[in-house]
Chains A and B, each alone.
Chain A
């Protein structure tokens, strides 16, 4: 999808919400194809939706593949190994081979488990991931849905992942799973509080809850990004966002939920084959989503760092992958936190400081002390 022709989005929200006036190069092409001068007959809309569905399916599968490869390769490098090298050039096909292998495994359910909840759990994380991917603005004319309450929607959908862990762990009827699921629940709801406070800071600063408007508000040079534009408060909020999103993703140093050495994998102990790989896939898609939201809110989304450079999806990708590199770096550098340390970090450090940071940002804005 080529988006090099950038027109600044100055339309009203009502105009943008109308799929007939919202133009993408692909959408234009589809409209010409269907020969619809009004630009809105049923056929073109159906084709549009089908293209979007294929794009999102392909994108999330590919993202997960690339991220798993990247993680294994980087992990190798951090530990002075080579990482995967045998399958394909630079081991690029390693994840494809692994995925194919998981497809060819026998799928079975332990006798003691509850069938409904056991099979419901792998559905939820990827469904949530798809719903959030639909909201992220990838480029100046490249978004799928643009709800007015985008940020609140994202924080609501973030709860779906917790639900999946709790349902899956209870449905497996295994003591390790239950312990892992409960820990995951406690951890995820705790860190969600300061994650939402990070979102609130951006809403306070930009006056928008719509993701596209937030990105459009950061146009221009890199000092218009909220991380720099809001002196101090923006940077602190960005650091808090990185910490809390790492915890929300259940990644090391916050992976007490999986804790291979204590809980033998936690909530997914009883899952095998493709059902397990769906959790795994969703985990990596969620990692991209978290990085993309961080880039959208704090690092200007698809906006170029300098005015003279063209805006586009490549900037969002570059920024997201920079944040993903950080997540992977954390995982292979820090030791796992104990669960009591983890809870203390959230409730006694991050939450009070986030509240203070929010008020601090309010004072900065009221005084006009923004760049």
Chain B
């Protein structure tokens, strides 16, 4: 936990660093025109033309599909981490693994890895064939 609390200090530091920079810039920087005198300064930038409609537009469904496929593979990689972590330990004679993992061989882990990855590969092929991965 020691290291995570140190990292927490750095999270606060990052916020202070950026916040401080913005604050100092506010103090040092010039105060430009506001209100009527500012003209179109505070308008959203659209290449010099007055913006039409809201910027919160509808966007393609494709983004959601990619996000879904990403979720599948991201969670999958998280499941693979423990498997990868003990892969070397099961083969070494002086491993400190618990009793339950004592008689798992490297071959067994490898086959399980292969099955897991090929099921995911099938999923990828399915998405591919269904043209989820096409971007028109």
| Contact, CB under 8 Å: A366 / B121 | no
| Contact, CB under 8 Å: A362 / B133 | no
Q: With contacts A104-B28, A365-B87 known, is A178 near B22, CB below 8 A? A: no
Say how far B76's CB is from chain A's closest CB, in angstroms.
9
> In the complex, what distance in Å separates the CA atom of A343 from the CA atom of B133?
7
Contacts of A274 in B (CB 8 A): 21-22, 24-25, 29
| Contact, CB under 8 Å: A17 / B3 | yes
Give the contact stretch, choosing among A129-137, A222-230, A298-306: A129-137
The contact string, 1 if C-beta is below 8 Å from chain B, for chain A 271-307, is 0011101100000000000000000000000000000
The contact string, 1 if C-beta is below 8 Å from chain A, for chain B 121-136, is 1001001100001111
> In the complex, what distance in Å separates the CA atom of A89 from the CA atom of B49?
43
Interface size on A, residues (CB 8 A): 87
| Contact, CB under 8 Å: A207 / B7 | no
A359 in complex: contacting residue of B14, B59, B113, B127, CB < 8 Å: B113
A134 in complex: contacting residue of B6, B15, B124, B127, CB < 8 Å: B6
Q: Does A112 contact B (CB under 8 A)?
A: yes
Q: With contacts A343-B66, A359-B117 known, is A193 near B22, CB below 8 A? A: no
Contacts of A178 in B (CB 8 A): 55-57, 59
Contacts of B135 in A (CB 8 A): 339-340, 343-344
CB-based A-B contact count at 8 angstroms: 223
A182 in complex: contacting residue of B41, B63, B69, B117, CB < 8 Å: B63
Chain B residue with the shortest CB-CB distance to A112 = B44
> In the complex, what distance in Å separates the CA atom of A339 from the CA atom of B88?
40
The contact string, 1 if C-beta is below 8 Å from chain B, for chain A 137-159, is 00000001111000011000000
Say how far A358's CB is from chain B's closest CB, in angstroms.
7
Q: With contacts A103-B28, A107-B25, A123-B18 known, is A145 near B6, CB below 8 A? A: yes
| Contact, CB under 8 Å: B110 / A363 | yes
| Contact, CB under 8 Å: B59 / A106 | no
| Contact, CB under 8 Å: B89 / A207 | yes
| Contact, CB under 8 Å: B85 / A203 | yes
Contacts of A102 in B (CB 8 A): 25
> In the complex, what distance in Å separates the CA atom of A234 from the CA atom of B80?
18
| Contact, CB under 8 Å: B25 / A193 | no
Chain B residue with the shortest CB-CB distance to A22 = B2
Q: Does A231 contact B (CB under 8 A)?
A: no
Give the contact stretch, choosing among A308-316, A318-326, A328-336, A347-355: A347-355
Give the contact stretch, choosing among A31-39, A71-79, A168-176, A242-250: A168-176
Q: With contacts A343-B135, A347-B133, A359-B114 known, is A123 near B66, CB below 8 A? A: no
Contacts of A177 in B (CB 8 A): 55
> In the complex, what distance in Å separates the CA atom of A344 from the CA atom of B62?
13
Contacts of B98 in A (CB 8 A): none
Q: Does A255 contact B (CB under 8 A)?
A: no
Q: Does A270 contact B (CB under 8 A)?
A: yes
Say how far A122's CB is from chain B's closest CB, in angstroms.
6
Q: With contacts A340-B135, A344-B133 known, is A104 near B29, CB below 8 A? A: yes
Closest 4 pairs (CB-CB, A-B)? A127-B14, A207-B88, A145-B3, A274-B25
